[in-house]
Amino acid sequence: MAELKDAHQDLVACTHCDALSPKPKLAPGHKAICSRCDNVLLVYKKDSINRTLAIATAGLVFFVPAMTLPIIGVGLVGLYNEASLVECIQDLVANDFPVMALCTFLFTIAIPFVRLFTAFVVTVSIKLGMYTPGLLQFFRSYHTLDKWVMLNVFLLGVIISMYKITDLAELSVGLGLLAFTGYLICSTFISVTFDPHYVWDKLEYELARTNR
């Protein structure tokens, strides 16, 4: 059974056609292509841990101002109002839209934050050599949440709303929108720099060595 498990660890499955191929040893910046369908099997990203840690740290710095500072201000007939993302969610609840408020909270605050925080904790743990069985379980949450981040959808909705009312009212861009844009950029670039294959291999190797 142990030999069969070790054999499977030397294989990689294509996510497109399910073909099994020997797991290649790649140099940084190189990628492996499936021999059957030409789909990308593995990509060895350059300096993944340091780059991901830097971007995750910047994203967490942007998080608080992005959530609490005003996003846009609207002025009309002498009245002016501005609101942050948190205040928008509070207004949805106050106006009897609890489901919309919950979805906005989950997809623009909770899930993106947990995803960024997971990337931060995993990369810091690898750099410091702190490997625990719980870290492997914690890393699985990154894969679970990766497809549920919708910051770009929210930003697109804000831009469309601003475009529609620009002729009807006086608009001003708040610091919250700038911070939210930075937060979105960091969240997007995490997917570019983070190398889950390397992290899986690193965690499994270190945990197996610790348990010997």
Compute, in degrees rounded to 10, the torsion defined by CA atoms 144, 54, 124, 105: -40
- CB-based contact 13:19 (threshold 8 Å): yes
Please say whether the dihedral angle defined by the alpha carbons of residues 201, 204, 209 and 212, taken in this order, is positive or negative.
negative
Q: Between 7 and 148, where is the model more confident?
A: 148
**Lowest mean pLDDT segment, chosen from 42-46, 53-57, 90-94, 117-121:** 42-46
Residue 6 has pLDDT above 60, yes or no: no
Per-residue confidence (pLDDT) for residue 65, from 0 to 100: 92
The confidence band for 61, taking pLDDT boundaries of 50, 70 and 90, is: very high
Nearest-angstrom CA–CA distance, 120 and 45: 17
- CB-based contact 71:88 (threshold 8 Å): yes
The partner residues of 21 in beta bridges, in order of sequence, read 12
Per-residue confidence (pLDDT) for residue 7, from 0 to 100: 46
Residue 54 has pLDDT above 90, yes or no: yes
**Considering only CA atoms, which of 174, 193, 196 is closest in space to residue 185?**
193
What is the tens place of the pLDDT at every residue in 32-43?
788 778 787 777
Q: Between 17 and 3, where is the model more confident?
A: 17
pTM exceeds 0.85: no
